[in-house]
Structure 1
């Protein structure tokens, strides 16, 4: 009984039903009671990621994707950059074609109509004056820099007048259009009557 009392003191029953769970053991003529402690199940908490599984997919770029992006950007720059660089040159090319068209008109009209026409070139104002289908016309060419005459050589200032008669232009000449990067030459051959556009020296 003493042993039982000690065991009950050490392991007091938590509930009334726990008394029925005491097992009696007879060891050496003494009655010894052993209390069976009820098993307490411990639940383990499983930590879950706060990010849903479908959200944990990779969000960065792979090496292959970066290579593809760089290639596409390089291709776009390769196509568009020459266009931006050539914007300043396209203006002078357009002026050269327009001036060549005027020279052909004057030469062909003078020959076919058997009449005299004139082309006045003002290098100071960078203008040309001629008789067009609708009367006298004046046009401006900002890139006009000089004219090289067969009779006088290079002229870069003042005014020059060229005559066109029934035989065409009175002399061969070259008109120069210059920009910061290039020089374009419009040449008229008085013998053949042909007008050509030539690329001059590239400016550096």
Structure 2
């Protein structure tokens, strides 16, 4: 009698069936994944909204003055704390050093009631001891997509909205 050797491994048909199932699943899932640029855009909008909330809260809690500066040429936003004499102090929180706008994302424009809509140069928003006192809107763009970050007066409400949203300022809402 001949002894049977135990089978090790998979048959060719089993391997082909598994590969076909994986290919089918990938064909369905991959087109639905967000584009990397869209992910960076959404992340930048959320980072900016978080920074605005942080600055508002810090200004109220510490009775200090903070500054958020948008640089449209460099597509960047930076945070600074000011001393009572107006000098820029070294950062005292990790969020102040964080890169808010990711690579490849641009600041299309920033709107505030005093300056109107600004799409070139720099815009500086000051958060005093009473927080943000004016409606601030920033439009971010990544490729053909837009996100709008809206900070309402009083600072407790900051929204991130998909798309380029026009926002009425305080005077236009009355």
Normalization by structure 2: what TM-score?
A: 0.66
Could you report, residue by residue, the CA deviation over 1:117-170 in whole angstroms, capped at 9, with x for unpaired residues?
Answer: 111211111122212424964736242221111233211001111110121113
Alignment of 1:115-126 (within 5 A): 115-126=64-75
Partner of residue 133, structure 1? 92
* Aligned partners of 1:126 and 1:140 also within 8 Å: no
Partner of residue 29, structure 2? 79
Q: How big is the alpha-carbon RMSD for the aligned residues of Structure 1 and Structure 2?
A: 2.8
Partner of residue 125, structure 2? 162
* Unaligned 5+ runs, structure 2: 1-12, 81-90, 166-174
Partner of residue 49, structure 2? 100
Alignment of 1:19-34 (within 5 A): none
Larger relative contact order (CA 8 Å, sep ≥ 6): 2
Partner of residue 111, structure 1? 60
Could you report, residue by residue, the CA deviation over 1:3-22 in whole angstroms, capped at 9, with x for unpaired residues?
Answer: xxxxxxxxxxxxxxxxxxxx
Which entry has the higher C-alpha Rg, 1 or 2? 1
> Match of 1:111, SS?
helix
> Match of 2:137, SS?
strand
Structure 1 residue runs of 4+, over 3 Å off? Answer: 69-75, 134-140
User: Does the C-alpha gap of structure 1 residues 118 and 111 become closer, same or farther in structure 2, counting only changes over 3 Å?
Assistant: same
